[in-house]
Structures are given as C-alpha cells and as structure tokens.
Amino acid sequence: MKAIVVGAGIGGLAATLSLRRSGHEVTLVEQTPRFTEIGAGIQLAPNATRVLRRFGLLDEVAARAYRPSEVCFRTWSDGTDVCRYRLGREVEDEFGAPYLLLHRADLREALAAGVPSASVRLDTTVVGIDQDDTAAHVTTASGERLSADLVVAADGIRSAARQWLFGADKALFSRTAAYRALLPADRVADLDLPELAVWMGPSRHFVHYWVRRGELLNMVAVYTADEAQQTQESWTARAEPGEQLSEFAGWDPRVLRVLERAGQVFRYGIYTRAPLERWNVGRVTLLGDSAHAMVPFLAQGAAQAIMDAAVLGDVLTDATPAEVPGALDRYVRRRLATATSVQAGAARAGDEFHLPDGPEARTRNARMAAHAARNRF
C-alpha cells in the first residue's frame, strides 16, 4: 500500500520506518527545508529503545548515547538523595532494551538514515487532508495533491491535521516553562554531578544528564509560570542572560553553578493537548504529539510516539487498502488508553516534584524511597 506521513519529527520518522518494515511505500512530507533538530537532550526509556532494536537501529543509536547506571532524585536546597533507581544492566535484563540518554540530533539522524531520501519531500507544507471511500489525499501549499491508502499526521503539538479531523482545539499552556541548555562536560567537571538527576523543589525542578557518550551535559530547569508570563512554545527562544539564576535563587550551589555556566540558555513554554476520544477518521490518523502531547516530566513524549509507530506498523502488516480503516481502529484501541494515562501521569509527576517543603513533600520523599527500596530498578 501507499502511505503518506506528515511531519518528520521523531514520531513521523518512526512511523515511516515502521510502515516501510511492514512492506508499504511511504512518502514522508516535512515543511522544513531540511531535517533539523535543536540542541537538546532526550531520554529514551526501554519501551522506545526496544522498538529501535526491532527497527535494526539500536546499535547505531546506542553508540551515540550515554548509558546511565542510575537516576537519582534529590532535594532542591542541599542535594540530599531521596532515592536512586538502577537504570543499567537491571533495566536491560528486565525489559530487554537499555535506557539511553541522547542528543536529539543524534537520534533524529539515526532515524533519518533509515529512510531513503527518494521517499522524503522536504520544504513541503501540508495545508489540507481529505478522503473518499478509496483513498486519502494531502494538499500542499504549492497546490499539489498527493494520494495514498492512508495518511498519518505526525505534525506535532501544533497539529493542523488534528483540527481538520476533530475541529478546533488548541494547545494548552501547562503553567510551566523550562530553561534549557547543553554544556560541554569539562565546564562542569568539578561539580561531581550524578549521571542523571532530578532535583525537586517548591514550584520547580531541575533535571540534568549526560548525552553524546558523556561529552555534553543537558540541563532542563522547570519552573511554574502564570498565564500573564505565558511563554511561547519554542525550542529557540533565548532567555535573558542570568534570568535562570534569579528563578532558582537559593537552590543547591551545584545547581546554581550549572545554571551559571550554561552559556546561552533557551526558554521553552510547556504546552499540552487535551486527550482525545479517538485519533483516527477513516484512512487518516494522528500519531505522536498531534495525538497526545504531554508535559515532559516523565520523559515519555517521544517514547510514546515511537510506540505508536510500532503498533501502527503491526496493525497494517498484510493489510489491504479496504482494511485500512479497521486497522487504524485497532491501532487506536491498542495505543490510546496507554498514551492518555502517560499524559496524566506526566502531569501528576510535575505536581509531585513541585510540592512545597513540609509534610506533603516529606510524605512524597518517604514514598519514593520505599518504592525504590522495593524495586531492583
């Protein structure tokens, strides 16, 4: 069959790889003139790396990654360890795939390398999707009309396809924003930082981890912001010099040193999408952030998109054009409940991380410590 995938983010690339593995011919349509990825990190849990193994890409991705042996959760003011979870061999034994920390460009490049350039239409913006009984159609900004047996809209959190399929709804401001930066490892060598850490504090949390085999440190400093300060959802909006330091005043000196030495810091307004009751209509479906954008506090948005892609490939294996709508129903049945619960879990994680000092935070810490003690990882 022929498929069109709209959007060459992590979700669209994974969907393209998965559909090609299932024997289908795919055209991947992307509005930007080239594959680009911003300078930022990404954690990939085993639910995603297991899929990469199936795609035959795990070795290549792992070779560019950092493999953490553990994650530690700490208190904001003095870095007391609340708990540690093993992420190395124990996780790999249990789930059959590793936990990886990556530079986004490295992940995007590895995924893109699996897609033949002849299947990709860059610099092509989709301005409409429609369908009839036998095919789905995509209209581009230049007026071209492409047809296929199915269309997968992986067009991200600002998805226009979502609006065309289900009517107007918009991205919702999560009342959180993040300062983010990548630092050369030698700039923070004296700080004795853990491999992957989440520092939890009132209305804020601070995450850092190594990427690119430990050459770079990725930092994400999340803070709460009211509607009046609503910041744009942009990977390239620059923060004012030093702005991040006043937001995190009073935090552990190691956190402040990282924030201080970060160089150019970017400010990212964090948005979500309300859960949908369905993602598909006939021969067209959403996938990734267009379907289930979530706050990044469980580091699962891209992982869920990669899982969507894996299931999409499964349900369409051996399918005929007439069977596409039924297969897409099965895809959504297998993915929607999980993705929706991860969306809710990610929001809850933010609430927990951001508890004020006091009894609730102490209860959280005790619960996390007990949970970590019960688990091997």
Active site residues: 209
Using rule CB under 6 A, residue 32 touches ligand FAD: yes
Using rule CB under 6 A, residue 302 touches ligand FAD: yes
Interaction with ligand FAD in 147-176: which residues (CB under 6 A)?
A: 154-157, 160
Per the CB < 8 A criterion, the answer to whether 283 and 6 are in contact is no
**Binding ligand FAD by CB under 6 A: which of 201, 269, 296, 313?**
296
Interaction with ligand FAD in 51-110: which residues (CB under 6 A)?
A: none
Q: Of the two residues 6 and 151, which places its CB atom closer to ligand FAD in the complex?
A: 6
**Binding ligand FAD by CB under 6 A: which of 4, 299, 310, 336?**
299
Binding span for ligand FAD by CB under 6 A among 252-260, 295-303, 325-333, 335-343: 295-303
Measured from the CB of residue 229, what is the shortest distance to ligand FAD in angstroms? 17
**Binding ligand FAD by CB under 6 A: which of 4, 24, 30, 254?**
30
Q: Of the two residues 259 and 305, which places its CB atom closer to ligand FAD in the complex?
A: 305
Binding span for ligand FAD by CB under 6 A among 76-84, 298-306, 328-336, 352-360: 298-306
Measured from the CB of residue 78, what is the shortest distance to ligand FAD in angstroms? 26
Q: Of the two residues 51 and 178, which places its CB atom closer to ligand FAD in the complex?
A: 178
Rounded Cα gap, residues 105 and 340, in angstroms: 27
Per the CB < 8 A criterion, the answer to whether 278 and 336 are in contact is yes
Using rule CB under 6 A, residue 178 touches ligand FAD: yes
Per the CB < 8 A criterion, the answer to whether 198 and 234 are in contact is no
Using rule CB under 6 A, residue 46 touches ligand FAD: no
Strand-pair category, 136-140 with 145-148: antiparallel
Q: Of the two residues 230 and 320, which places its CB atom closer to ligand FAD in the complex?
A: 230
Binding mask 252-291 for ligand FAD (x = CB under 6 A): ----------------x-x-----------------xx--
Interaction with ligand FAD in 304-363: which residues (CB under 6 A)?
A: 305
Binding mask 206-235 for ligand FAD (x = CB under 6 A): --------------x---------------
Measured from the CB of residue 134, what is the shortest distance to ligand FAD in angstroms? 24
Q: In the sheet that 172-184 helps form, which strands lie side by side, from edge to edge? A: 81-86, 70-75, 196-201, 204-211, 216-224, 172-184, 266-272
How big is the CA angle at 50 (ends 48 and 52), to the nearest 5 degrees?
75
Per the CB < 8 A criterion, the answer to whether 61 and 97 are in contact is no
Using rule CB under 6 A, residue 1 touches ligand FAD: no
# of chain residues touching ligand FAD (CB under 6 A): 34
Binding residues (CB under 6 A) for ligand FAD: these are: 6-12, 29-32, 42-43, 125-126, 154-157, 160, 178, 180, 220, 268, 270, 288-289, 296, 299-303, 305
